[in-house]
Chain A
């Protein structure tokens, strides 16, 4: 029985260590960022001036960048993720199904710097020449497209994020879709539904799982750093259109930390950004987990 005792002690040790680290991160986020909130208060959140030389820090442009890129990402990813899930569980022939799912799962786990490289050298020029320029030239009167686009900007980052989160969201939706009880499909077909009517009804049945997948994916999009930093443009301005170059909170931190210690308040400012990102991410993920829980109870 001694080995059992040792196992228990080890287990508690590791659990305790993990929890301590999590709590430690939150504590250091709060304590290290507190000077910036004490000095600037809400101005830190709502000011758009980021000038370390004058020790003035406003996170608003990066915060907007995060919200805009992730909104673009989730809007594009939603129809794609649902279609991909339906395609891989209803339409693709059985023998290709597991291959297709493996590829999709592999894409969900690729290092993000690979997406960044591809986004910078392949996606950005294509989007620039064939989508953003025409949109600007013909629909430039719409405020969303009013800026003359460069290849790297908020829109490119949003599209790249969408591509990155589709496999992840889709795999959650696919799991739920394939777990729909067979007798519900039989019920649908038995009242004369066509295949598409059945698919629509089944999607209604798993809508909690769809929300869960999309919210968890949104959480990923907001925190994604490397790939975004490579294609977002990295300019701190209040964006006037989707085609403006911009910053996100995570890319701001990644780009500015090397010289942060040269200034008095820059480290707290970056921590402040991290705290805000943490809070937003926490809320989004909690919503996602709430929907996951609903799925678990039902199924």
Chain B
């Protein structure tokens, strides 16, 4: 079996602070994998260690391996922009480029990365990405308008479209619904269930109910350590670790 992603002995430090401790796991393709845990446990850091976005922070130091399709993204021969293109990323606060149009927000990635040969291919790719993000019908007549005119939920779906337009192997989502109202949130959750047909999705959430609702596999992270990982139904009904149990029943947040 080929894995979507394999993490081996991953350690991360911010300066002297040991943020992630010896994390190892692997997950299969075309599933939703949720990483849950209380705030400050290192969930977002783990996500950013996968696509090497962590390196924007000059104090961060990483050891260990992250393999996608067998290739270690930390190998010296691997190009960092290639790594980032293998992942589409969606952030906690919807962050489309507000000064660019809806179209340009989606088109920018594929254009810069040379994924398309001409304008009509690009148009097609943008349309496809917006359709996959359930946004096309709402914006198809406003493609030239600035992204800032969209609502919060629409902006987040635009960010999903921007990520999908890269044709990534894996979609990383960092608490994508934390800043959305319940209606917009459930739209995003439906969308994720749809997307796993074609992508592997890794979502970070501080909300165990969300993890239970949408994920196939789940990991519980606590103070930088991977406490438990497994099929979601198992982890939620028969947690092996006391900390996990406390967390999923809501006695720890």
- Taking beta carbons and an 8 Å cutoff, which residues of A are in contact with B? 94, 181, 183-194, 197, 201, 204-205, 207, 298
**Cβ-based interface call for B53 (8 A):** yes
Q: Are B53 and A186 in contact (CB under 8 A)?
A: yes
**Nearest CB in chain A: distance from B60 CB, A:** 13
Q: Are A190 and B112 in contact (CB under 8 A)?
A: no
Q: With A and B bound together, what is the CA distance between A189 and B95 in angstroms?
A: 12
Determine the chain A residues whose CB is within 8 A of the CB of B93 once the complex forms: 183
User: What are 24 A-B interface contacts by the 8 Å CB criterion?
Assistant: A184-B95, A184-B97, A186-B53, A186-B89, A186-B91, A187-B89, A187-B91, A187-B95, A189-B84, A190-B53, A190-B88, A190-B91, A190-B163, A191-B85, A191-B166, A192-B81, A192-B82, A192-B85, A192-B109, A193-B81, A194-B81, A201-B108, A204-B100, A205-B99
**Cβ-based interface call for B56 (8 A):** yes
Q: 1/0 per position for B66-98, CB-CB distance to A under 8 A?
A: 000000000000000110110111011101111
**Cβ-based interface call for B51 (8 A):** yes
13 more CB-based (< 8 A) A-B contacts, given A186-B91, A192-B109: A183-B91, A183-B93, A184-B95, A187-B91, A190-B163, A191-B84, A192-B84, A192-B112, A192-B166, A193-B81, A193-B112, A204-B99, A205-B97
Determine the chain B residues whose CB is within 8 A of the CB of A189 once the complex forms: 53, 56, 84
Determine the chain B residues whose CB is within 8 A of the CB of A181 once the complex forms: 95
**Nearest CB in chain B: distance from A44 CB, A:** 44
**Nearest CB in chain B: distance from A279 CB, A:** 32
Q: With A and B bound together, what is the CA distance between A184 and B95 in angstroms?
A: 6
Determine the chain A residues whose CB is within 8 A of the CB of B113 once the complex forms: 191-192
Determine the chain A residues whose CB is within 8 A of the CB of B166 once the complex forms: 191-192
Q: With A and B bound together, what is the CA distance between A205 and B108 in angstroms?
A: 14
Known: A186-B56, A190-B53, A191-B108. Is A201-B84 also a contact (CB below 8 A)?
A: no
Q: With A and B bound together, what is the CA distance between A181 and B98 in angstroms?
A: 11
**Cβ-based interface call for B58 (8 A):** yes
- Taking beta carbons and an 8 Å cutoff, which residues of B are in contact with A? 51, 53, 56, 58, 81-82, 84-85, 87-89, 91-93, 95-100, 108-109, 112-113, 159, 162-163, 166
With both beta carbons as reference points, the residue of chain B lying nearest to A207 in the complex is identified as: B99
Q: Are B56 and A187 in contact (CB under 8 A)?
A: no
Q: Are B98 and A187 in contact (CB under 8 A)?
A: no
Q: With A and B bound together, what is the CA distance between A109 and B51 in angstroms?
A: 45
Determine the chain B residues whose CB is within 8 A of the CB of A94 once the complex forms: 58
How many A-B residue pairs lie within 8 Å, measured between CB atoms? 65
With both beta carbons as reference points, the residue of chain A lying nearest to B109 in the complex is identified as: A191
Determine the chain B residues whose CB is within 8 A of the CB of A201 once the complex forms: 97, 108
Determine the chain A residues whose CB is within 8 A of the CB of B98 once the complex forms: 205, 298
With both beta carbons as reference points, the residue of chain B lying nearest to A182 in the complex is identified as: B56
With both beta carbons as reference points, the residue of chain B lying nearest to A193 in the complex is identified as: B112
A187: contacting residue among B51, B112, B159, CB under 8 A: B159
Determine the chain B residues whose CB is within 8 A of the CB of A193 once the complex forms: 81, 112
With both beta carbons as reference points, the residue of chain B lying nearest to A194 in the complex is identified as: B81
**Nearest CB in chain B: distance from A183 CB, A:** 4
B51: contacting residue among A188, A190, A194, CB under 8 A: A190
Q: Are A191 and B91 in contact (CB under 8 A)?
A: no
Lowest 7 A-B CB distances belong to which pairs? A191-B109, A190-B89, A192-B85, A183-B95, A192-B81, A192-B84, A187-B95
With both beta carbons as reference points, the residue of chain A lying nearest to B90 in the complex is identified as: A190
Q: Are B162 and A191 in contact (CB under 8 A)?
A: yes
**Nearest CB in chain A: distance from B199 CB, A:** 15
**Nearest CB in chain B: distance from A90 CB, A:** 11
Determine the chain B residues whose CB is within 8 A of the CB of A186 once the complex forms: 53, 56, 89, 91, 95
Q: With A and B bound together, what is the CA distance between A262 and B76 in angstroms?
A: 80
Most chain A beta-carbon neighbours within 10 Å: one of B92, B95, B96: B95
Q: With A and B bound together, what is the CA distance between A207 and B98 in angstroms?
A: 12
Q: With A and B bound together, what is the CA distance between A183 and B113 in angstroms?
A: 21
**Nearest CB in chain A: distance from B131 CB, A:** 19
**Nearest CB in chain B: distance from A298 CB, A:** 8
Known: A181-B95, A205-B98. Is A190-B81 also a contact (CB below 8 A)?
A: no
**Nearest CB in chain A: distance from B137 CB, A:** 24
**Nearest CB in chain A: distance from B141 CB, A:** 24
Q: Are A197 and B112 in contact (CB under 8 A)?
A: yes
With both beta carbons as reference points, the residue of chain A lying nearest to B162 in the complex is identified as: A191
**Nearest CB in chain A: distance from B155 CB, A:** 11
Determine the chain A residues whose CB is within 8 A of the CB of B56 once the complex forms: 185-186, 189
Q: With A and B bound together, what is the CA distance between A204 and B98 in angstroms?
A: 10
With both beta carbons as reference points, the residue of chain A lying nearest to B159 in the complex is identified as: A187
Q: With A and B bound together, what is the CA distance between A250 and B109 in angstroms?
A: 50
